[in-house]
Chains A and B, each alone.
Chain A
Amino acid sequence: SQTIHQWPATLVQPVGSPLSLECTVEGTSNPNLYWYRQAAGRGLQLLFYSVGIGQISSEVPQNLSASRPQDRQFILSSKKLLLSDSGFYLCAWSVGGPRLFGQGTRLTVV
């Protein structure tokens, strides 16, 4: 069966520090991969999506970037975190169907 792993579950980082969140999917090949941010009362905001290795589309210009070095690996990065980067980050995948989400990373920038 397919599973998605996302880590870490929680992260506290100082302003200006770098960020790397990782997501991996098991049990499927060539999935579409997504990074979302969820803010209270504001729903899910799509940040990046990828249809294949090295192919990244950005939905929202911001302080973040994404990379897909392997078929089932998706990484969200920042060189210098801002306070406004705090939030709940979700990785998701799909193969011709609905989005299936990981357990999320709660990022607090202090």
Chain B
Amino acid sequence: QKEVEQDPGPLSVPEGAIVSLNCTYSNSAFQYFMWYRQYSRKGPELLMYTYSSGNKEDGRFTAQVDKSSKYISLFIRDSQPSDSATYLCATSQNTGNQFYFGTGTSLTVIP
């Protein structure tokens, strides 16, 4: 079983839709959770960084962690064509340890 599982998509939504991106993880000791956005032919850009459970909001983006079900989500409100990218989740037990990345979900927002 992989440490992090992520549906590769692709996911296609109309502009303005609410997008839900999800990952599951296997190790209950994981405490740090991240979401990255990666545009084509570019490096991943850190979007959200959370510790333990709960929600974190930043503008149109909300990261949610449910440790009881080992499930992490990224919600994008009022999606824009500029949100079209691949989104990667990542997790680790602590900041000095190995980080585990999902394979990424490809998102296209149609104008």
Contacts and interface: CB of A to CB of B under 8 A. Distances in A.
| Interface residue range, chain A | 20 to 34
A43 B102 CA distance: 6
A47 interface: no
A103 interface: yes
A98 B49 contact: yes
Contact of A96 (B36, B43, B96, B102): B96
Interface in A68-109: 88, 90, 94, 96-104, 106
Interface in A43-63: 43-44, 46
A87 to B, nearest CB: 13
A97 B33 CA distance: 11
A98 B32 contact: yes
Interface of B: 8, 32, 34, 36, 41-46, 49, 88, 90, 95-96, 98-99, 101-104
